[in-house]
Amino acid sequence: MPRLAVALLAVATLGGCSKKEPAYDPSIPPPAIQGAHAAAADPANLPPPGTAPAPVPVEKDLPMWNAAIKTLQGQDTNLASYKGKALLLVNVASKCGLTPQYSALEALQKKYEAKGFTVIGFPCNQFGKQEPGSAKEIETFCSTTYGVTFPMMEKVDVNGPGRHEIYKTLTPLADAKGHTGDIRWNFEKFVVSADRSKITRFDPQVAPDDPTVVAAIENALPK
């Protein structure tokens, strides 16, 4: 092989052209999040609870509890796995103007997890195609950008003929303004009481750290 070709091959190899990025490992704690995201994710910055909207009374054995779904890591699960916990169910996206809501969702997770609460995220690509990535890409984004620690499910449809069973149960419920039916955009929220008897719906523009949401979560915690 000519000397120039050998030299170029050596430079390419030593320069990292063939080097692979390390695989994402969910067991490794996410890096510390800096700046505005860190402040928004600090539970100390959450407001005190306000007045929650009236929740919708529901049957305790709704179909959504046993509906099969996979986690973002591909493991089989269902909402019944979280029995006894208050839940905040939210459809999420990585490229939306509302994506910074992840920070406040994480703040809620940190503040209330030990009291019997968890956020559960449902990635969805139905609104402006703002969740186009693979499961690994979504997981990496959430971890490295917002330090997300709450459970994330597989990408699902929340509207239309392919609507997941969980959202078939949720969408008929009314929010405080009387809206029922289709999910309107990314980050629509449903707070489910720990005893499964009540659900409070919030539109996407109501931030997770709005005092009404904080109040709904506190009301939903195990008694």
| Helix, strand, coil share of the chain (percent; to 5) | 30, 15, 50
Question: Across-strand partners of 122?
Answer: 91
Which pair of structure tokens corresponds to residue 118?
Answer: 């968890």
Separation in Å, CA 77 to CA 23, 114, 219: 24, 21, 26
Torsion angle of C-alpha atoms 133, 135, 140, 146, degrees rounded to 10: 80
Task: Tell me the C-alpha distance between 23 and 185, whole Å.
Answer: 32
Torsion angle of C-alpha atoms 71, 191, 125, 32, degrees rounded to 10: -70
Q: Which of 96, 185, 94 is nearest to 133 (CA)?
A: 94
96 in catalytic set = yes
Task: Tell me the C-alpha distance between 33 and 207, whole Å.
Answer: 20
Q: Name the catalytic one among 17, 96, 124, 142.
A: 96
Sign of the C-alpha dihedral, residues 137, 81, 176, 104?
negative
CB contact at 8 A, 187 and 92: yes
Task: Tell me the C-alpha distance between 190 and 64, whole Å.
Answer: 13
- Catalytic (active-site) positions: 96
